[in-house]
Amino acid sequence: MADEQALDEVVRFTSDLIRIDTTNRGGGDCRERPAAEYAAEQLAGAGLEPMLLERTEGRANVVARIEGSDPSADALLVHGHLDVVPAQADDWSVHPFSGEVRDGVVWGRGAVDMKNMDAMILAVVRGWAREGIRPRRDVVVAFTADEEDSARDGAGFLADEHPELFEGCTEGISESGAFTFHDGSGRQIYPLAAGERGTGWLKLSARGRAGHGSKVNKENAVTRLAAAVTRIGAYEWPLRPTATVRAALAGLAEVYGLDADLSDVDGLLRKLGPAAKLVESTVRNSANPTMLDAGYKVNVIPGEAVAHVDGRFLPGAEDEFRATLDRLTGPDVDWEFVHREVALEAPVDAPTYARMREAIEEFAPEGHVVPYCMSGGTDAKQFSRLGITGYGFTPLELPEGYDYQAMFHGVDERVPVGALHFGVRVLDRFLRTA
């Protein structure tokens, strides 16, 4: 059981890390090194020998290995990212990089995504050092840069250039599962992530004939682009429930005493009520237009127009995704990936999944643990190149009315102190027995 000092430290570490501004604006505009040095200092204080590694100056990653008691056991990777998305201070109730602790809540950018988990890892590891505890398996701890952009300076760099640091690792845990989902009728559900949709960020380019805005122009690049964007935005992607999604639907159906009729997924989702939110974004591919760029003067028809689309595809459905984009963009618009990462699935019948479930159930016996697939992506994609199976496991016991999903990249991001304490206890229990 995690000691009282670990419970105090997880709050302090979360607050301290939030105060270190690691805003990732994309395109290399970020500096994680001060947060990496902070994490390395805490690991060194636990008797470990952390390594700081950079592909680009200032974009630091931290890796350390904790030797397990069973040398024949596979190693486990425990990773969290140090960067955060931008925050506009004027929109917030408190300064987003204050790390303020008020009314039992820690406020600031990264409180949920994901300096809370970074702090939990540090608190657990330091608690083990005080108590002289060794896990059964080797545990490799990694704090990464650049997760909120391309991961080229973070997990991608580590996987490609330093695979030896992860020798023996077969499984990993990171964001963002094992949180309390309240369905509004008294049930508490703990979705445990065992899959991720693939990432397909796209650039669409339409070319046409430049000319005067007052003249007839049937080769208008803006018109061509707008038509393609409209087709993409309006397209209804077909249902493609994967093994993880089917397991999620079956688990939720059991919670509600429903027949898990996977021949009518939409009908089952309607019966699940608010709990359908855990699944509805992952039963199909998606493509959402997000950016437009065209022209420079109102009376000039430009020769080119550009759009960007956030695409996500399910395991086994990338070919369909590509073919559909070819059809929707049509002959006058080209598209390309500006960032692509694989879709992932992890087994829900594995011993590691069972141990995560048992750890949650020990401290939340009233909770219902179900698998789910994340609609977005994490650093688990990059580490999968090393054969590491990834799970989303950032345990948090959350009060009713707390909108966990809204905290990600949202205004007034915050995490209850009690949720951090729960997370340390559950993470400690799992890692001791994993």
Please report which helix (H) or strand (E) contains residue 383, including its range: helix 380-383
What is the structure's pLDDT at 108? 98
pLDDT band at residue 376 using 50, 70 and 90 as cut-offs: confident
Q: What is the pLDDT of residues 130-156, one digit of tens each?
A: 999 999 999 999 999 999 999 999 999
pLDDT band at residue 107 using 50, 70 and 90 as cut-offs: very high
| Token pair in block for residue 143 | 């704090």
- Once rounded to an integer, what is the mean pLDDT over residues 203-215? 97
What is the structure's pLDDT at 62? 98
- Once rounded to an integer, what is the mean pLDDT over residues 340-346? 96
Residues 6+ apart with CB under 8 A from 36: 52, 60, 61, 62, 82, 143, 145
What CATH number is given for 4-176+378-433 in this structure? 3.40.630.10
Catalytic site positions: 83, 147
Q: Taking 80 as the threshold, does the pLDDT of residue 401 lie above it?
A: yes
The share of the chain scoring above pLDDT 90, in percent, equals 97
- The neighbour count for residue 127, using CB atoms within 10 Å, is 22
What is the structure's pLDDT at 261? 87
Do residues 277 and 270 make contact, with C-beta atoms less than 8 angstroms apart? no
Q: What is the pLDDT of residues 18-64, one digit of tens each?
A: 999 999 999 999 999 999 999 999 999 999 999 999 999 999 999 99
Domain ranges of the chain: 4-176+378-433, 198-341
State the Cα–Cα distance between residues 47 and 126, nearest whole angstrom.
9
- Once rounded to an integer, what is the mean pLDDT over residues 370-381? 95
DSSP 185: S
State the Cα–Cα distance between residues 427 and 318, nearest whole angstrom.
34
- Of 169, 175, 125, 166, whose CA–CA distance to 147 is shortest? 175
What CATH number is given for 198-341 in this structure? 3.30.70.360
State the Cα–Cα distance between residues 401 and 403, nearest whole angstrom.
6
Cis geometry, peptide bond prior to residue 356 (ω within 30 degrees of 0):
no
pLDDT band at residue 2 using 50, 70 and 90 as cut-offs: confident
**Cα separation values, 309 from 237, 344, 348, 364, 376, Å:** 15, 21, 32, 40, 14
pTM: 0.94
What is the structure's pLDDT at 155? 98
Q: What is the pLDDT of residues 185-194, one digit of tens each?
A: 999 999 999 9
What is the structure's pLDDT at 1? 75
Give the chain's end-to-end CA distance (angstroms, integer): 15
- What are the beta bridge partners of residue 344? 196
Q: 16, exposed or middle or buried, with CB in 10 Å at 0-12, 13-18, 19+?
A: middle
Q: Taking 80 as the threshold, does the pLDDT of residue 265 lie above it?
A: yes
**Cα separation values, 397 from 9, 179, 268, 369, 426, Å:** 18, 6, 27, 13, 10
What is the structure's pLDDT at 410? 96
Q: Taking 80 as the threshold, does the pLDDT of residue 338 lie above it?
A: yes
State the Cα–Cα distance between residues 360 and 191, nearest whole angstrom.
10
What is the structure's pLDDT at 176? 87
pLDDT band at residue 218 using 50, 70 and 90 as cut-offs: very high
- Of 79, 20, 28, 52, whose CA–CA distance to 381 is shortest? 79
Q: Taking 80 as the threshold, does the pLDDT of residue 8 lie above it?
A: yes
Longest pairwise C-alpha distance within the chain: 79
What is the structure's pLDDT at 311? 98
Do residues 328 and 228 make contact, with C-beta atoms less than 8 angstroms apart? yes
Q: Taking 90 as the threshold, does the pLDDT of residue 70 lie above it?
A: yes
Mean pLDDT over the full length of the chain: 97
Cis geometry, peptide bond prior to residue 286 (ω within 30 degrees of 0):
no
Q: Taking 80 as the threshold, does the pLDDT of residue 92 lie above it?
A: yes
